[in-house]
Amino acid sequence: MKRDSIRWNSSYNKRAKSNTCSSSRTGKPLSVYPSESAARKAADYANQEYDNNLVPYQCKTCKKWHLSPKDRQTPSKVCPKCISRNGKRKALYKSQNDADNRASILAKEQGVDLLVYKCPHNRGWHLTKGQ
């Protein structure tokens, strides 16, 4: 008997699990919500009950809504000038702080050592692999 699942089922929102998307952190299927308002309600609930800091986002893969911890939402664009070693445009961060946050997430999740540096074309900040 799984007590956790009973507790979750008795809460007001039915949590459907995605069969296309899983957490890059835990590898578990993500909870999926049909609309922004449903995702927003679930986030508010979790934030209150569990002191989480979750924000809804629309998934590019399944086009539905998932929740993500706020500190993972590091806004990035692609740099119009810089190309990375694998031939793709480099991710561009608005501020050094955003780039730092992203670097520490990747360090924790993937064990990669990344350095923050200023875009040589003054478009923002980039990450590069440490030596």
Which residues here bind Zn ion, judged by CB under 5 A? 21, 59, 61-62, 79, 81-82, 119, 123
Q: Nearest approach, Cβ of 128 to Zn ion (angstroms)?
A: 11
Q: Nearest approach, Cβ of 36 to Zn ion (angstroms)?
A: 14
Q: In degrees, to the nearest 5, what angle opens at C-alpha 54 toward C-alphas 79 and 91?
A: 10
Q: Nearest approach, Cβ of 83 to Zn ion (angstroms)?
A: 9
Inter-residue contact 81 to 95 (CB < 8 Å): no
Instruction: Please say which residue, 3 or 63, places its beta carbon nearer to Zn ion.
Output: 63
Residue, CB closest to Zn ion: 59
Q: Alpha-carbon distance 130 to 112, whole Å?
A: 8
Which strand (E) or helix (H) includes residue 109?
Answer: helix 96-110
Inter-residue contact 30 to 60 (CB < 8 Å): no
